[in-house]
Amino acid sequence: MKQMTISKQAGVAAPLFSVENLSVSFATDSGPLLALDDVNLSIHPGETLAVVGESGSGKSVLSLAIMGLLPPTATVKAGHLRYDGRDLAGLDKTARRGMRGKDMAMIFQEPSTALNPVKRIGDQLVEAILLHDAMPKAKAKARAVEALAATGIPSPEVRARAFPHELSGGMRQRALIAMALIHRPRLLIADEPTTALDVTVQAQILDLIRDLGRETGTATIFITHDMGVVAEMADRVAVLYAGRMVETARASDLFTSPEHPYTLGLLGSMPQLNQRGEPMLPISGTVPDLRRMPSGCHFHPRCPFAQERCAEERPGLRALDRGRRSACHFAPLLETLGGQA
Amino acid sequence: MFARLIHRGVTSLIVLTGVLLIGFLMLQVIPADPAVAIAGPQGTQEEIDAIRRHLGLDQPVLLQFVWYIERVLSGDMGRSVINNASVSAELFRAAGPTVELLAVAMLWAVPTALGLGILAALRRGGIVDRLVMAVSVMGVSIPVFWVGLLMIQFAARTRAFPVQGRGGPLWTLDGLSHIILPAVALGLILVGPIARMTRTTLSESLYADHVRTARAKGASEARVIIHHALRTALLPIITLIGLQIGTLLGGAVVTETIFSWPGVGRLAVGSIIAGDYPMAQGAIVFLASAFILVNITVDIFNELADPRIGAKT
């Protein structure tokens, strides 16, 4: 019995949530567009998984697919979402809706537009409460104020009566966080929650998400393009490039020895990690147009290590040591390319 | 909000003075001479001159305007030069039927337009959407007098509805059957623009960030649409409805004339044709004030519906 608990803690336990072979395509005027291509990831209770990539890599599509909020132009072509062992594909719309906001919640990128502009903050929280818990309105109101207070909003009773435009950006994001965490969801998706905020407010919001997440034992999928945020928040990292997952590793491993040239590029374009005086290494080129994807490895036109093989053969995600996986023909990079570098 | 209302009131007064002036001057340049009208076909030149002096028509135009404003302010809009009836009393009598007609027209047209617009927005690109848009474009392009005439044709042949006049209060069967045709003809003006506006704003707001947040909270689709998407889409729609009421007042003039509806619009047209100065002026001032009043009301509604408006100023 005791051994079992130990083995659970060692990571053998079933993940809280997993994405298996997920492919999502969008119908566009110029034909279907594959936004997510065979993506796999899993997250354990209490864990923070960062999903990293440039704009257009499919990060936001991934988060919407997990929440079941894809726009009608998008279709899930293949794959499964598993929550606590249950396949979400088997659920009807009503059951899926019942999970949203209760079992899984989401914090969005733009706090200025993510709140309903014509409803009071408190009323929006009360709505969130009453959607999943039947209780008298007065009680829900009290709970809304409590939730606002828990996010560190000063004089929460006053703020609850305010309209969104009367609050600062940081305050709005706190309100949205309060709303997302009000039912203590086991899975939280944070889609670039600090991108639209001032740097000083960013740090506060990150602390808040981490602290509240820890308090409630919430597993967090943190979507970002900012490697600094990843370093601060993540236990594990999954790197997306042009709709495919190219690398996944523990955060500490990813920062010390990235196993995909794209990750290397992402780290090179992060100012803090560079030695003083050393030039920053931006990734050359731009994210490819999803409709005209390069052959073979999608990254090869921008890859400093690309060889002929990369243009022809698509690399699969291969397992390396310590749970790392990379979709590069040359992983592990140091051993294969050590001579060149 | 009260400061803004006072501000609106003051500007409205200025607009109203302008309306009085334009209405007054327009009737000055119209060739019809009220003195001739009063004197009748047998009137001699001396009689006509005497009437002109009696009415003050021989005085400078500006003086006549000042007198007119004075009289309007004291609630006296003069007397009809045709039948010597009090203009205020006539307007008061005609206002009821006009308000009744406008109200019934809006009562069916606004919900219908909203419904059609919502339906079109939810099934955008579908058959329903195209049908709704085709019908609403038709509603915009077909003039109200044409629709009215077609309806009279139809009603006259089938004898389904009375085509002329008002049958009495709305709650009587006669009153109801009389108002149906003019109200339908008049309301058709509204359906097109409001349906289109609803479709456009709603199909945008259905995918707005805050609506996505509502979905992420686990709200049902009906709740998402009604409480969140439509709630914010409503603001431009309310503004449009307010503007359309102006068109509606204009349409009421035509509709009332076609269906012999005893309202202010018919009174205005009738008195202009008859060269009845005071009556025409009264009707024009009445219609303009109604329009201004509607605009203020729309402003208040908008302010209530959107807390951001008050905050901006």
Cβ distance of B209 and A113 shorter than 8 Å: yes
- Mean pLDDT of the A39-47 span: 90
Looking at the complex, report in whole angstroms how far the Cα of residue B193 sits from the nearest Cα belonging to chain A: 24
Tokens standing for A289? 């147009």
DSSP state of A8: I
DSSP state of A88: G
Contacts of A67 in chain B (CB under 8 A): 216
Residue B313's pLDDT is 42
Edge-to-edge strands of the sheet including A31-43? A31-43, A17-28, A74-83, A86-87
pLDDT band at B41 (very low <50, low <70, confident <90, very high): confident
Residue A199's pLDDT is 83
Given a cut of 70, whether residue A5 has pLDDT beyond it is no
Q: Residues of B234-262 as b/e, b for ≥16 C-beta within 10 angstroms? A: bbbbbbbbbebbbebbebbbbbbbbbebb
Identity of the residue numbered A182: I
Cβ distance of A101 and B207 shorter than 8 Å: no
What is the spatial distance between Cα A295 and Cα A286, in angstroms, rounded to a whole number?
Answer: 16
- What domains appear along chain B, each with residue ranges and CATH number? 2-73 (no CATH), 94-312 (1.10.3720.10)
Tokens standing for A195? 């991108």
Looking at the complex, report in whole angstroms how far the Cα of residue B222 sits from the nearest Cα belonging to chain A: 12
Q: Write down the ipTM of this complex.
A: 0.84
Cβ distance of B217 and A131 shorter than 8 Å: yes
Given a cut of 50, whether residue A1 has pLDDT beyond it is no
pLDDT one-digit tens code per residue, B280-307: 888 888 888 888 888 888 877 777 777 7
Indicate the residue of B217, B218, B308 with minimum beta-carbon distance to A117: B308
Contacts of A119 in chain B (CB under 8 A): 231
pLDDT one-digit tens code per residue, A91-133: 888 898 999 999 999 998 888 899 999 899 999 999 999 999 9
Do A24 and A61 form a contact (C-beta atoms < 8 A)?
yes
pLDDT one-digit tens code per residue, A250-292: 998 888 888 888 888 888 766 654 455 555 566 777 777 777 7
Interface probe, candidates A119, A161, A173, chain B, greatest B C-beta count within 10 A: A119
Mean of pLDDT over chain B: 84
Identity of the residue numbered B52: R
Do A213 and A232 form a contact (C-beta atoms < 8 A)?
no
* DSSP letter string, A199-224: HHHHHHHHHHHHHHHHHHT-EEEEEE
DSSP state of A283: P
Residues sharing a CB contact under 8 Å with residue B269, sequence separation 6 or more, in sequence order: B253, B256, B257
Cβ distance of B216 and A106 shorter than 8 Å: yes
